[in-house]
Amino acid sequence: MMAEYLTALAAVLAAPFLGGILMGLDRVVSARLQSRQGPPLVQPFYDILKLFAKRRMAANTFQMISVSVYLASMVLSLALLVMGQDLLVLLFILALGNIMLILGGFSVKSPYSQLGSQREVIVLLAYEPLLVCMVVGTYILTGSFSAASVFGLERPLALSMPAFVITQTLVMAMKLHKSPFDVSASHHAHQELVRGIYTEFSGPQMAVIELAHLYELVLLLGFIVLFWHTNLVVGIVLALACHAAVIVLDNVSARMTTRWMFGFTWSVGLALAAANLAALYATGPLPR
């Protein structure tokens, strides 16, 4: 048990650094795809430090509470995944954090913030079923909702649940606010109704959000590593490949509407998930 706590602690401490480098890589790759040189690799760290050092200018006290809970939920979700805890609980905690951020956006009367938050609710509605279906898939395979039971499998999950690698990549694009799903706010400084849900968060609050994004990125990649837990190197390569796919998708596609995004994920995304779930149901649990 002690060892589990220590690995979780190590993951929580290392995640921002790993996430920051990956974010920096994302920005460099995006810039190169647009034939620009791009910022230094450590740019996300500069941004976060600078934001922390800005003077506080809050519209209300709830904003800081909401972003803190958002960050805490990301950190806790990552720890739960590393410790092999219940995946359903993890999803609930993840959703709780996102909902707190949305409430923070709603807590300010600015129309930009309001509209951004409304759209974020739709984004949440679009990807949440895909996440739940993935957890249901692992349940059919292992008979348990815990991540530890997935660790116990002899065969990588990706071989039994290939469609979910695709849906997880879509979820990653949506959660990271990448095109074509960047309807509520953009990952980059592109302007979508000013800054969408982030419009009213400034200085340290924005820094907390950015820090939470680093955890979120590592968590999302962690989900994909889970698909090839038998060989961590393959798992990490798979996760990085999915991340690269998201970056390329971001650069080659334009922003679509919320309605399109909702329709797409609930038709194509859920169809993929349902087909894979049906196949899993037919073949039954895996040997452990």
Applying CB under 8 A, the residues found at the interface with other proteins are 27, 31, 34-40, 43, 45-47, 49-50, 53-57, 189, 191, 194-195, 198-203, 206
CA angle 156, 15, 36 (to 5 degrees): 95
CA distance 188 to 28: 12
Among the listed residues 74, 81, 116, the one whose alpha carbon sits nearest the alpha carbon of residue 95: 74
3-state SS string over 227-238? CCCCCHHHHHHH
> Which of residues 35 and 61 has its CB atom nearest to other proteins in the complex?
35
Pure H helices in the chain: 2-33, 43-53, 61-82, 87-106, 111-142, 147-151, 157-160, 162-175, 203-226, 232-252, 258-264, 270-283
CA distance 118 to 111: 10
> Which of residues 174 and 185 has its CB atom nearest to other proteins in the complex?
185
> Which of residues 146 and 199 has its CB atom nearest to other proteins in the complex?
199
> Which of residues 31 and 121 has its CB atom nearest to other proteins in the complex?
31
CB of 22 to other proteins, least distance (A): 17
> Which of residues 39 and 129 has its CB atom nearest to other proteins in the complex?
39
CB of 182 to other proteins, least distance (A): 14
> Which of residues 108 and 238 has its CB atom nearest to other proteins in the complex?
108
Exposure class string for 10-23: b at 16+ Cβ within 10 A, else e? ebbeebbeebbebb
CA distance 39 to 169: 25
CB of 13 to other proteins, least distance (A): 18
CB of 113 to other proteins, least distance (A): 10
CB of 58 to other proteins, least distance (A): 10
CB of 54 to other proteins, least distance (A): 5
Which of helix, strand or coil describes residue 278? helix
